[in-house]
Structure 1
């Protein structure tokens, strides 16, 4: 099958990500003797500079890792929690039935920084200043501006100017940075330099802890506290609001380390983050899909698309009804991932497309789903659902990053950093970066598993993956894309396992997505039955799906999927691939 580029192969190490600079930074760390965890941290911080429209220092970063020495897998939860003041009653008092997608109100504790520091402290070998040096250099000297950065800033210019602090950073000299120019971040560089100066202690772990303390209990938290307490800013509600986040909220949070959730499928075990993410929906999809002869289907054909879409509808309906932070609500994952439950659910997959949102019934639980999302979609027109749709005043949708690393010892990292987008929240004065608006993913109505509560994690779409083969760590994968993350990843995995595609072949093959269920992002729209096929899909596939009742359409060429993945075979060979769409993602290795 034709591919846009070769699948990278090596025996020393591989790194793949959504930006070539981050991939090369990760490889540079491996070449200098760092392990996969050191490399992932360096690449993760670099992505914050290289892709400021897709993530930032104040964002989120769920991380899955395989520790080759111990033979264990772990989740570092870089998803920050809601402020103490964030309650359904508080939003009701403000006259809001949805958490806004922009501004200060949706801010949660920034999780990415502590997640990267935790990964470095517990599994890495380098000092904080050494892994940060690459990103710091780009912040000081400037990073190459890709066209999408310019387009994002241009569309968001009215809001950036209204916020003032953001215009100072992202509209240097009052102008939109031109594609191909260098964007410098002196305020961010100064913040990072100050954090590096805080790395004082008798050993590496103590020095990293000192940096974490400076961020969450020192000058960074103090700057956030001052700005959020004293400033009213415009958000997508059309009104000005003050933030809820405080320095105390930041001071009592640290990124937890958890066990992943897993499911066995055709000799492979897929590992995901817990139900504070949408990741388990991928696992339930596999439980549904294993009842079909996927290998007998054309991987580009209508039957494959139909079965995948209908199984996704059922898995994501259960996501809507039951998922939330398991520290606050009971999530019946045992039932949702059981074969008996999914054997029954699978009977709902018929020859025709379903246009309903159909969560299953779990004894002792009441499914709660949003039935107003389709109405909101009708009011808003036909704009596509992305991550996130953030509204008015020229604001455009943001997205996400991803990176995968495997080193010569067999350590493996899959991380999906996001949030803190340049166009979703104002830059905090003195810090040079905005905070995550992931709080928009909460519901404001009491009683829903994902209802907003103090110190609770919003149910995120960020969803890295690890795959074990015959009990051995085999592959790391992930993608940007919001709701599409656990659509494009299953498509890639099925095509690799059942149709013998390599990583790059599976990435390059035309993909698709559905917008059937409510989006996790403001304004939480749903488009029941809608399926978007990537441009280049055969017209006969479109016709066959429409005949089955899907509201299917052909999208733009090279528009579906932004996947990257890396795998390790028993003979020691490593392979990696990256997304050609958007001309940013690259895999490197040797």
Structure 2
């Protein structure tokens, strides 16, 4: 079949990421003798510079890694809620939801410690060598992609009136970065250079230097600047100024750690996901709900698409009722054949317009009161249709922007995105990571450091007793969801995508396109699966402020075809037909364990993601 690009193949190594500079920097690390983990760390830091509207040093990252000959593990780079972040504190300020932006939405930044833990434990290079690429792009500049400038333009009023430290970085000379113009962040480069100097003075080995850098981040000049900044009141999405609750004790008391992935066997594949403190098992539940008769001949038919949409609704309803870090999650029951046989019977001929969580092990599901109230009233959106994404603070009533990224709602909210990177090397090491948070539109830039804090706390509920309730020391339920797939216990495929709530919907379609369709050139047809027409549904509460949703709503790429669109509408789906290349930003790498051939592919949508390798 026709694809926008070939699936790359080689024997040395492959990288796929959401920005070509990150992909090429990672490949340069492989060429320099580093392994997949060194390369992923280098790419992760470059992404913080070249996609600042999508992630940053103050954000978070879940990582799934498969060392050659070792077991698959998850490295958690999702920081928890601060110890003063209690439900009572927020409701006492008059909030029903955690603000979508500003200091009150900040958790402990997790990305830096996770990347350095990966480098220390599984990499081979020193910190300075992998940071060199990001420092260079921050110090000397990089050509800004169009969406950096459009994001900055959408929050110009906020930056100029309130977040002036952000304006100093992203409105140089009073102008948003033009496409292709060099964008610099010398303060961020200086932060990393100082961190390297201080860690080199303390560490007498590669590992000791990395640990010294981690300590400086948690307890040294970085932590001091973060804590002081969080305590300063700043405008947030409530339209008022508030100080945060993150402090030095929170920063000093947390480090990234390893855990076992959630696994699910589907036919001759075993898929590994981050646990239910994120939405990762949603992909596994969608596969568990598929009928055994699902095969290549059904692929792309109206029945196929309808079944996937309806299964996605059931899985996302379970996410809302059962997933989170604040209570035990019955994920084994959620993936059991008995439970999924029962749930599959709910998928009928017509589109469901209800949110229908299940009752695993006979336990009654419980939805947040706010969600139940919205469902009862029939009001499920607050000005921003579709699955939620990062928001920005309210300043006046900016007009709605044109179709595309970012969209600006009537309250000043904008939709954004995330990043992704996958790497496989010639030794068989494989890693998949989805960095996000700390967006330039999430919180004011810390003047001394050159980056903002994240706003992941908006994904918690201000109600006691829910799996995703705001709880000090517990992780907010994230949407970040990398994937690693095995065959015969050998890692063969790493993939993921930005997209908030849409991530595991897009990944399900991608994986089935790989698993059900014929291989290309003797290997997995990664590029064909990425290029295939995609869709998403919004019939559930968004993870992002203001937590809206659209019962029955399905957005499809026009390339899916008029016969499928007409049949979905006949079945009651509320179909929005989007542009031909609008759904998904998938990345993927693969490896054949027998031949050692590696492969890579990247998403053409957005004209930013690239795979590279040889």
Q: Same fold (TM over 0.5)?
A: yes
Query: Which residue does the alignment assign to 1:344?
Result: 342
Instruction: State how far apart, in whole Å, the 2-side matches of 1:158 and 1:292 are.
Output: 55
1:291–1:346 contact (8 Å) kept in structure 2: no
Query: Which residue does the alignment assign to 2:321?
Result: 321
* Secondary structure class of the residue paired with 2:419: coil
Q: Does 1:215 align with 2:214?
A: no
Deviation at residue 378 of structure 1 after TM alignment: 5.3
Deviation at residue 285 of structure 1 after TM alignment: 1.1
Instruction: State how far apart, in whole Å, the 1-side matches of 2:218 and 2:181 are.
Output: 33
In structure 2, relative to structure 1, the CA distance for the partners of 1:386 and 1:294 (3 Å cut) is farther
Deviation at residue 188 of structure 1 after TM alignment: 0.3
Deviation at residue 510 of structure 1 after TM alignment: 0.9
Q: Does 1:428 align with 2:452?
A: no
**What residue ranges of structure 1 are gaps of 5+ in the alignment?**
none
1:103–1:235 contact (8 Å) kept in structure 2: yes
Query: Which residue does the alignment assign to 1:75?
Result: 74
1:473-507 C-alpha deviation (Å, 9 max, x unpaired): 10000000001100000101111111225110011
1:237-274 C-alpha deviation (Å, 9 max, x unpaired): 11111111101101000011111110000100000001
Q: Does 1:497 align with 2:515?
A: yes
* Secondary structure class of the residue paired with 1:335: helix
2:7–2:526 contact (8 Å) kept in structure 1: yes
**RMSD of equivalent CA atoms:** 1.4
Q: Which moved more, 1:527-536 or 1:40-49?
A: 527-536
Query: Which residue does the alignment assign to 1:184?
Result: 184
- Normalising by structure 2, we get a TM-score of 0.93
Instruction: State how far apart, in whole Å, the 2-side matches of 1:504 and 1:201 are.
Output: 43
Query: Which residue does the alignment assign to 2:382?
Result: 380
1:390–1:522 contact (8 Å) kept in structure 2: no
Query: Which residue does the alignment assign to 1:530?
Result: 553
Query: Which residue does the alignment assign to 1:409?
Result: 427
Query: Which residue does the alignment assign to 2:578?
Result: 555
Query: Which residue does the alignment assign to 2:465?
Result: 447
- Normalising by structure 1, we get a TM-score of 0.97
Instruction: State how far apart, in whole Å, the 1-side matches of 2:154 and 2:558 are.
Output: 25
1:103-122 C-alpha deviation (Å, 9 max, x unpaired): 11000000000000010011
Q: Does 1:268 align with 2:259?
A: no
Q: How many residues align?
A: 585
* Secondary structure class of the residue paired with 2:360: coil
Deviation at residue 371 of structure 1 after TM alignment: 2.4
Deviation at residue 556 of structure 1 after TM alignment: 1.8
Q: Which moved more, 1:299-308 or 1:510-519?
A: 299-308
Query: Which residue does the alignment assign to 1:175?
Result: 175
Deviation at residue 365 of structure 1 after TM alignment: 3.4
1:163-182 C-alpha deviation (Å, 9 max, x unpaired): 11111111112211111100
Query: Which residue does the alignment assign to 1:469?
Result: 487
Q: Does 1:245 align with 2:246?
A: yes
In structure 2, relative to structure 1, the CA distance for the partners of 1:386 and 1:583 (3 Å cut) is farther
In structure 2, relative to structure 1, the CA distance for the partners of 1:176 and 1:330 (3 Å cut) is same
1:395–1:423 contact (8 Å) kept in structure 2: no
Deviation at residue 382 of structure 1 after TM alignment: 5.7
Query: Which residue does the alignment assign to 2:601?
Result: 577
Deviation at residue 316 of structure 1 after TM alignment: 1.1
Deviation at residue 395 of structure 1 after TM alignment: 4.5
1:159–1:395 contact (8 Å) kept in structure 2: no
User: 1:137-216 maps to which residues of 2 (within 5 A)?
Assistant: 137-161=136-160, 162-199=162-199, 200-216=202-218
* Secondary structure class of the residue paired with 2:103: coil
Query: Which residue does the alignment assign to 2:116?
Result: 117
**What residue ranges of structure 2 are gaps of 5+ in the alignment?**
396-411, 520-524
* Secondary structure class of the residue paired with 1:62: strand
2:390–2:442 contact (8 Å) kept in structure 1: no
1:57–1:112 contact (8 Å) kept in structure 2: yes
